[in-house]
């Protein structure tokens, strides 16, 4: 089994439309998705997130999160706390590296997720570019959320239609990350097709222009 920890943004982008989402094994490596209680706490602390994602506390989702939550030993909790502190201090000490190229400084919850990944040998899934930078600095495995979607599609755990629905919903909500846009016609070319080339686009524009 390969544990994949969804951070807050990854969970919120997938949970409403992929049911069930957590605890289901898929793919040749036996990926299993989970989240931490701290993700729930982060949503509950944010009035903005609760306003944008009112479905978060729907009973079926609450029950799924509770049933599939990873249980940690006292020793694991201590190791995660220590690693979280190391990651947080590194991010603060190199703040300039986390405020360029679309990045934002990793929050305490972000650092906790990466610390969990290090201690439990899990892969963290996030669209947060600051977390990707921090993971890179410490050589920790990390996925973009669209990579999780692709692996689920390849494993036939979800359909092409569902991928289209998720992309469309994120576009409508103004929540489609640039990283998702960049792979739309490469990783998901079997869903969306190849991206039209510039000459082809120009030909189409000319054909549709009034004479």
| In a domain? residue 156 | no
Count: domains in the chain: 2
Whether residues 121 and 194 share a domain: the answer is: no
In which domain, by residue range, is 133 found? Answer: 2-147
Whether residues 31 and 106 share a domain: the answer is: yes
pLDDT of residue 89: 97
pLDDT of residue 198: 60
pLDDT tens readout for residues 13-38: 999 999 999 999 999 999 999 999 99
Share of the chain above pLDDT 70, in %: 93
Please write down the HEC assignment for all residues of 148-204.
Answer: HHHHHHHCCCCCHHHHHHHHHHHHHCCCCCHHHHHHCCCCCHHHHCCCCCHHHHHHH
* Residue 141's CATH number: 3.40.50.1010
| In a domain? residue 157 | no
Per-residue confidence at 133, pLDDT binned at 50, 70, 90? very high
Q: Check pLDDT > 60 for residue 195.
A: yes
pLDDT tens readout for residues 145-174: 999 999 999 999 999 999 999 999 999 999
| Mean pLDDT of all residues belonging to the chain | 92
CA distances from 46 to 54, 71, 106, 143 (A): 12, 25, 16, 25
Whether residues 167 and 141 share a domain: the answer is: no
Which of the listed residues 96, 118, 147 is the one where a domain comes to its end?
147
Whether residues 82 and 120 share a domain: the answer is: yes
Per-residue confidence at 210, pLDDT binned at 50, 70, 90? very low
DSSP string across 71-96: P--HHHHHHHHHHHHHHHHHHHHTGG
Per-residue confidence at 124, pLDDT binned at 50, 70, 90? very high
pLDDT of residue 100: 84
Q: Check pLDDT > 70 for residue 96.
A: yes
């Amino acid at each position: 089994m390969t544990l994949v920890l969804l951070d807050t943004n990854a969970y919120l982008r997938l949970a409403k439309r992929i049911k069930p989402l957590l605890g289901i094994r898929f793919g040749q490596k036996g990926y299993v998705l989970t989240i931490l209680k701290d993700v729930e706490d982060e949503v509950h602390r944010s009035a903005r997130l609760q306003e944008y994602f009112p479905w978060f506390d729907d009973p079926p989702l609450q029950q799924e999160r509770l049933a599939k939550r990873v249980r940690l030993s006292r020793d694991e909790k201590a190791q995660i706390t220590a690693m979280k502190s190391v990651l947080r201090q590194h991010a603060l000490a190199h703040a300039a590296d986390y405020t360029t190229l679309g990045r934002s400084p990793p929050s305490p919850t972000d650092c906790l997720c990466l610390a969990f990944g290090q201690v439990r040998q899990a892969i963290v899934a996030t669209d947060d570019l600051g977390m990707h930078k921090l993971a890179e600095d410490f050589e920790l495995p990390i996925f973009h959320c669209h990579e999780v979607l692709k692996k689920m599609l390849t494993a036939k755990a979800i359909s092409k239609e569902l991928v289209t629905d998720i992309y469309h919903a994120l576009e409508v909500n103004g929540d489609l990350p640039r990283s998702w846009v960049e792979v739309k016609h490469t990783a998901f070319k079997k869903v969306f097709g190849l991206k039209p080339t510039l000459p082809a686009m120009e030909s189409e524009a000319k054909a549709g222009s009034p004479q």
